[in-house]
Amino acid sequence: MSEAYIVDAVRTPVGRRNGSLAGVHSADLGAHVLSALMDRTGIDPAAVEDVVFGCLDQLGSQSGDIARTSWLAAGLPESVPGVTIDRQCGSSQQAVHFAAQATMSGLSGLVVAGGVQNMSQIPLTAAALVGPQFGMPDPYSGSRGWRKRYGDQTVSQFHAAELMARHWDLSREEMEEFALNSHQRAAHAVDSGWFEREIAPYVDGETALAVDEGPRRDTSLASMARLKTLDPAGRITAATASQISDGAAALLIASEQAVQDHGLIPRARIHRMTVLGDDPIMMLSAPIPATRKALEDAGLTEGDIDAVEINEAFASVVLAWQREIDIAPERVNPVGGAIALGHPLGATGARLMTTLLHHLERTGGRYGLQTMCEGGGQANVTILERL
């Protein structure tokens, strides 16, 4: 089987909720990274065989196959198709997996993978929120099979985050210390210029953004302690959850033959791809068994991994994962995570991979591992090998 290579990866800065990117149409956010990717690689856009994008809440500006719309909004060839997928928060990581599988199988040579989300315009779970007008209060009510298996248990990421905190006995204080560290690491990365190479600044008319808006330099444990918990009897607060954000990211995935045919210089090889399911009520725990499976299938140990990007949907997710996976904390989210940098749902998987690739290059690491929790109790894991 052929290899799948990452030729390049680029992202927008991540805009905070109602921030600099809030008024940008989702297709234009996607178009921005697609144009930047074509410019950076110098590839003939007509040679791209498909565009696979992740996006949640596909309605309004994100409806109508945003992958295809973004490509066309970028002024790129009409001959290139696009498809939009939804594996919840892992959507654009799964987009990379689908792109890699296409190139490894020999069916495609060049595929663009990425994702986009404008959460300022389309609120979190907006697709479910329109259900009541059609007599569907949520995605599960009315399903005999679901009720028979799971009853009327609460299905919510916020509830799941609390379940994780209780199951692994994570205190509010421990999670707040983790959140503070995320902001500090992200601010240090920004100040050190570590994100500059991976970011394509967004400049269009009055909109201009070159750096991530999320990191809070003035946050403190004292200010976090004053926040109310999301559940009156719980431990999770807004400070220990990912930020609502806007952004996009894209990668060019190439087969061995395409690398030769187009004279490309790949930056990394996709070493292993894994996806696994777990309890949909606990929901956020799947990265733990998925990471174990990915390492075993790849013939690697925890000690072989030089850097990890695990999405900080909530502090409890990462801390529980760290309790179970023996990788040094300094190697986990070394430049901060979604608590500080934000979580534009459909774009986050591609954003994490872009950041992971650049971090491995900057530090000289060989193997990087990316994973994230996903709705429905799922997790993707991708292991990269820097070339």
Are 275 and 94 in contact by the 8 Å Cβ rule? The answer is yes
97 is catalytic: no
**Cα-Cα-Cα-Cα dihedral sign, residues 258, 264, 265, 268:** negative
343 is catalytic: yes
- b (16+ CB within 10 A) / e for 273-304: bbbbebebbbbbbbbbbbbbbbbeebebeeee
Cα separation, 218 vs 221, in Å, equals 10
CA atoms in the 13 A half-sphere facing the CB of 135? 1
Catalytic residue, from 89, 97, 358, 359: name it: 89
**132 CB contacts (<8 Å, ≥6 apart)?**
none
Nearest to 310 by CA among 169, 178, 119, 115: 178
Catalytic residue, from 32, 183, 343, 358: name it: 343
Q: What are phi and psi of 175, to 5 degrees?
A: -70, -35
As given in the structure block, the two tokens for residue 301 are: 């140990």
55 is catalytic: no
Pairing label, strands 82-85, 50-54: parallel
- Catalytic positions are 89, 343, 373
